Structure 1
């Protein structure tokens, strides 16, 4: 049997900017069939930005593919901006985008932080969501953040963890998220750049089943690493601006929405426990664990399963 591959490269047929606040404009684009099934691609991070490759997971003849860059990242403006950048803002932006594009309801597709934001949007606007295809579940619970940024993943990738913490003075390592936040928001550009590069390299280096050596180089102000690290840390130090365990506490709101959950067995960034817990509580959800996979969407088993599930929508 021939393995299914990503769909061919396509260009957006429509794109633009949507002013969503006093200072923020978000970039959006549409590709594929304008009369096709509406599917919104929600990128990770927060702060990661969407990518052209994401649209290749969908048959362009069947789907109207909508992508956007969340506040402060990708092509959205201003870049790496933390002001007026909260989870409520992002959920409101998605709804403003839906209304702007004159879409009644849509399918959601998101991984990692994209799964978090998809779940929160669905809780806030359940009537607008037809289905969810989620990957690498992240519920932003305290133990999840501690596991990846403080202690846990450190024992699986000790060499990468050593590089990660090397930019933080030894006497400031008891709460690494807080210490990184101090340097990522520092007016000292050199300190900010080092912290951004270390944070980003740590996450990218641990995202695959088979370890990859990643070096983002020296981060610069307004570079990918700068926005990725600053916005992630900004959200995490503020507990994503929601009450603890918000998603699980409000799960009944979305129990009628068909949901597929794809999870790498050896996902170190977002451990399988979160996908397991979500599936146990969320009626009408199905959990598919890919044994030979880590966190990345590009892991072979995850890619194949995503393509298969999306085709069945």
Structure 2
């Protein structure tokens, strides 16, 4: 595997955005958007791509992964993330790239493509999240029967049993001034609940180290910050951006697991109704990118997308444009 070393971080609004390139520097450019929000990029996703002919860019969104300030909320919203992506594209000298995202990253991919369709060759989505309060309610109310003990622990840590106030209470207790004990309790409880919903069984394993706990606090602080605001998008606005991208000629391909316990499978039906040209594929899998059927589906969609868009590419690619977002 050809690997390029990390470049200097991109500085914007007193934030440093970390990114890394992998693969062929002359290959088809692909940017991968992680989920969460706040999870950070994971090199494990590189297995989805043919690095001999693709130039893959992994980006840590504001406050996530290696980006700093870690867990920072100032100037941290969806429009700023979109601006960061387009500024990075311009800095790398890439005219157009394929955008791949999973879960929250899928929502961000659609939003970016809707705002900058001329900079996107295509969009591949895994486990689509539509940023609606409906989905958040489903995750924290509809699934609690599957993980009653984890739910009890989460509500105790949040200080409320009211599902409609859970995210807001978690957000308050994850603030830097809320106290280390409260931050720790909420982050560990939220992570345990998430694991239980994803796997259908209580989380087991070694006790997390303090650095691992700190990363969870950062992650869930950002996640709560976004979720209580519908990620500054909401379903209607996100689907309007998807339509705008498709009308500009950007192909969309969504792969969704039929057993996804985090993002409802009917999300792809909603996308298909809003954007009839979108390709929607259901596979026997859950939510995680590591699920074999989901990974195969995404890898196949990326290969197909790049083959089609390379054949249809214009003779003169447009020059990079610096974002003002």
CA contact (8 A) 2:2 2:24 kept: no
Residues of 1 paired with 2:156 and 2:178: CA distance?
Answer: 20
* Cα shift at 1:244: 5.9
CA contact (8 A) 1:173 1:179 kept: no
Q: Is 1:249 aligned to 2:233, yes or no?
A: no
Residue number among 294, 302, 305 corresponding to 1:302 in the alignment: 294
- Look up the match of 1:6: none
Which structure 2 residues correspond to residues 1-313 of structure 1 after superposition, within 5 A? 10=1, 12-149=3-140, 151-170=141-160, 174-185=164-175, 186-208=177-199, 211=201, 213-214=203-204, 217=207, 220=210, 223-242=214-233, 245-255=236-246, 256-291=249-284, 293-312=285-304, 313=306
Tell me which of the two structures has the higher relative contact order, counting C-alpha pairs closer than 8 angstroms and 6 or more residues apart. Answer: 2
CA contact (8 A) 1:140 1:245 kept: no
Residues of 2 paired with 1:302 and 1:161: CA distance?
Answer: 27
Richer in helix (by share): 2
* Cα shift at 1:280: 2.1
C-alpha RMSD of the superposition = 2.1
Residues of 2 paired with 1:215 and 1:235: CA distance?
Answer: 29
Gaps of 5+ in 1: 1-9
> Aligned pairs, how many?
301
Gaps of 5+ in 2: 307-325
- Look up the match of 1:5: none
TM-score, structure 1 length as denominator? 0.89
Change (3 A) 1:51 1:145: same
TM-score, structure 2 length as denominator? 0.86
Residues of 1 paired with 2:83 and 2:160: CA distance?
Answer: 40
Residues of 2 paired with 1:173 and 1:252: CA distance?
Answer: 32
- Look up the match of 1:4: none
Residues of 1 paired with 2:234 and 2:143: CA distance?
Answer: 25
Change (3 A) 1:132 1:116: same
| Aligned-partner SS, 1:272 | coil
